[in-house]
Every structure is written in C-alpha cells, then in structure tokens.
Amino acid sequence: MKFLLSIFAFFGLSFAASAQMNPTKWTYTAEKTKTKGEYKVVMQADLQDKWAIYTQFLESQDGPVATAIAFDKSVQLIGKAEEVSDHKSTGYDDVFAMNLTKYKKQVKFVQTIKGKKGAKVKGTITYMTCDDASCLPPRDVTFEVTLK
C-alpha cells in the first residue's frame, strides 16, 4: 500500500512541477522617442537554456501558437510590434511541418505608441514556449508600464 501511495505522490508532484514550470521571464519598460508624444513599449522575454518562443508572424495557424500582444483599447498603436533579438532562427521545423521563426535566450517585442507622460499602459501577451522535446501550453501574461 505504501508503494502505491509513493507512486501516486511522485506522479502528483511531477504533474504539479510541470504545471508551474515557466522557462520565460518577462520585463517591461517604456522609452520616450525623439518624436513628441511617442513612446516605445519594450516587452522583453528572457528564456532558460534550450527553450524558444515563437514570432508573431507565423505562416499559418497549423503549428505552434504565435506570440500575440494586445494593448488596452485606450492605447494608440503606431505600426506593428518589432522583434529584436540576436538569437533568431528561421527554418523548416519537422515537428510542425512548416517554416518557423523562433527566438532563444532573449527577444524584445517593441511597440511604438502615442501617449501622454504619466499614463499607464496595460496589455496582455499570449505566447508559447517549446524545447527540443516538448511544448508548454500557451500562457497569457498581463503587463503595465508608466510612460515617463
């Protein structure tokens, strides 16, 4: 009986650990540009070794979940969010059977907005991370930055 309880406890702890695993740490900043009333909101993802996050611009929805950034309706966006990284890889992925762009180690998503000094900018990022063996379910993270 103790043996069965030990097995159930082990699997329960393993499941709980994987449910809480998050190989991505996010930080958020806002930078004033040279243009009056414009700011760059920088959403930086730092990833643990061997993990990757996907671009916003996948060729189809038949593969991994693309990163998506949604701002509150009160925010006026200028263009699309740029992706800035020294750790970008693009190519055919056998698992998803499609061409993919993904980032390892670190990527910055930079969105130019119009705003007023002191305003609070809020939003949500939806993203998915995978390593060479598995993918974690998509996550939603909320953020808030103050324009300075």
Full set of structural domains in the chain with CATH: 23-146 (2.60.40.1250)
For tokens 């000094």, name the residue: 117
- 26-52 per-residue burial string, b: 16 or more CB within 10 A, e: under 16: bebebeeeeeeebbbbbbbbebeeebb
Handedness of CA 62, 64, 66, 72 (dihedral sign): positive
**Predicted confidence (pLDDT) per residue in 62-113, tens digit:** 899 999 999 999 899 999 999 999 999 999 988 889 999 999 999 999 999 9
**Mean pLDDT for the chain overall:** 88
CA angle, 90 then 96 then 102, to 5°? 30
How far apart are the C-alpha atoms of 114 and 112, rounded to whole Å? 7
CA angle, 24 then 143 then 120, to 5°? 155
How far apart are the C-alpha atoms of 70 and 145, rounded to whole Å? 14
* 60: CB partners within 8 A, 6+ apart: 98
For the record, the structure tokens of 116 come out as: 């007023």
pLDDT at 92: 93
* 91: CB partners within 8 A, 6+ apart: 99, 100
Of the listed ranges 23-32, 95-104, 120-129, the one predicted with least confidence: 95-104
pLDDT band at 41 (very low <50, low <70, confident <90, very high): very high
Alpha-carbon radius of gyration of the chain? 19
For the record, the structure tokens of 112 come out as: 């130019």
